[in-house]
Amino acid sequence: MWCRVVAGCGGGAVRQAPPWPPGRAARLVHLAGAATRTVLLRPPPPHARHLSLGGSLAWQRAKPRAPSALREDAAGSPHRDPPSPPSALATSPRPPTRDDDDCTGAAAAAGDGDADDRRSRPQRWHEVRVEMSELPGIYARLSKIRLTTLVVITAAAGYAMAPVTFDPAVLLLASLGTGLTSCAANTINQYFEVPFDSNMNRTKNRPLVRGQISALHAVTFASVCGVSGLSLLAVLVNPLTAALGAFNLALYTCAYTPLKRLSILNTWLGSVVGAIPPVMGWAAATGSIDTGALLLAALLYSWQFPHFNALSWSLREDYSRGGYRMMSVVDPALCRRVALRHTAALLLLPLLCPPAGLTTWLFPLTCLAPNAYIGVLALRFYTRADRPSARRLFFCSLWYLPTIVLLMILHKARRGGGGAGDAAAAAALPVATPNGRTSGDDLRPEAAPGF
């Protein structure tokens, strides 16, 4: 069979048969099948660049520098080379030979050898220059400073609700240690998610994605924050608070972060992570975990579902590009149902606080207005399933939590009935101390065994 060789610009050679005269349709079909089986490709040359164009892959050859047309002859006088004639390759038909297969095989082997050389080439550290004036802003973005601030506020609320005499030193130490631990967790989370954050509009400007700081620098910052925060909690507050902080750090970085790309259960696990900071504040004050701490944790746990589900609903396309398995992407109906269920739980939790001795009965009464408003927005989000209703629910959740926490602190249950008895009761209250123990431990009710 006569064939002609067509040189391929992408590193391959295709044997293409010449056209047959009309009337030989059967032989033409046979020839077309044979031609498709003779396509030989080899890996791209080492100077080819890999690009992504509109979601498709393309190979682009780097343009070589044009050689100079002047050269010197033996006598030293320069003269111009005559232009080379165009290649006559693939202009005249010739029978295929064994040399063609040998050349193609040799080229493929050479391409494989170049690929092996690239893989065996040692990797070098990429130097990243950072201005000292830019470091505070970079550290703040690595730490997700707004999220860290919310974590510190919830931990301080847990301390404020504890039935002990207020000690500003313990509150400051507990808040600082909790904040440093949160900074470490958020930085490690960003370090692990750089390849995925680069695909999302919401996270593509993070420092590690943009290369504003090296990975080694970020990990060092996270290590310093984590070690210093946990050490501060263990030495200057109490071991229970430090243990809760270490558990939360491991849960966020080693379980929640990888689970985001595996299962929608990441939302439930992330809610557990967000519910632990108020328990840390309570433990910093009392050295134990009581019923009041569990109610605070339940409040934070349920609040995160309408908050995050509404946020993720507006960012479904972004999370899908990043490869994260969120309820809003995998099961939108479940996303709305879960948000509505936990909003209903937020309506019932204030009723449990007075019987537990955490607040007075004025607390559930004053919570009626904000609870009714967020309940209406959650119901609209469930029925309408659109972006405007999700945004309204999300923005409502931003002010709902501080409002409820403030009302809880204002209506905190007081011990004693006033007068001299009130002063005696105040003197009998346990006082938090930096070493983790409290005076009057025998008077503390409902102490959990084993702590």
**Could you state, in chain order, the average pLDDT of each consecutive group of 10 residues for the chain (451 residues)?**
43 46 50 44 42 39 45 47 47 50 49 52 59 87 94 95 91 96 96 90 90 92 96 95 96 94 93 95 93 94 95 90 90 94 94 93 94 96 93 95 94 61 40 46 36 35
Q: Do 173 and 40 belong together in one domain?
A: no
**Enclosing domain of residue 232:** 135-289
Residues 6+ apart with CB under 8 A from 317: none
Q: Do 144 and 283 belong together in one domain?
A: yes
Domain assignment present for residue 355? The answer is no
Q: Do 7 and 142 belong together in one domain?
A: no
Domain assignment present for residue 162? The answer is yes
CATH of the domain at 228: 1.10.357.140
Measured CA to CA in angstroms, residue 372 lies from 178, 369, 421 at distances of: 32, 5, 39
- How confident is the model at residue 38, as a pLDDT? 40
Residues 6+ apart with CB under 8 A from 35: 14, 15, 16, 17
412: left (phi > 0), else alpha (psi -120 to 50), else beta? beta
Q: Do 139 and 40 belong together in one domain?
A: no
Q: Do 155 and 268 belong together in one domain?
A: yes
Residue that terminates a domain, selected from 289, 308, 327: 289
Phi, psi of 250 (to 5 degrees): -65, -40
- How confident is the model at residue 112, as a pLDDT? 52
Domain assignment present for residue 257? The answer is yes
Q: Do 281 and 158 belong together in one domain?
A: yes
Residue that terminates a domain, selected from 289, 310, 330: 289
Domain assignment present for residue 216? The answer is yes
Residue that terminates a domain, selected from 289, 314, 338: 289
Domain assignment present for residue 215? The answer is yes
Residue with tokens 């937020």: 346
Q: Do 24 and 146 belong together in one domain?
A: no
DSSP state of 78: E
CB 307 within 8 A of CB 394: yes
Q: Do 148 and 27 belong together in one domain?
A: no
Written as one letter, the residue type at 409 is I
Q: Do 34 and 141 belong together in one domain?
A: no
C-alpha span between 79 and 72 (Å, rounded): 6
Q: Do 143 and 39 belong together in one domain?
A: no
Written as one letter, the residue type at 406 is L
Domain assignment present for residue 280? The answer is yes
- How confident is the model at residue 121, as a pLDDT? 54
pTM of the model: 0.65
Q: Do 151 and 270 belong together in one domain?
A: yes
Total domains, the chain: 2
Domain assignment present for residue 374? The answer is no
Domain assignment present for residue 446? The answer is no
Q: Do 14 and 142 belong together in one domain?
A: no
- How confident is the model at residue 59, as a pLDDT? 39
- How confident is the model at residue 23, as a pLDDT? 52
- How confident is the model at residue 117, as a pLDDT? 52
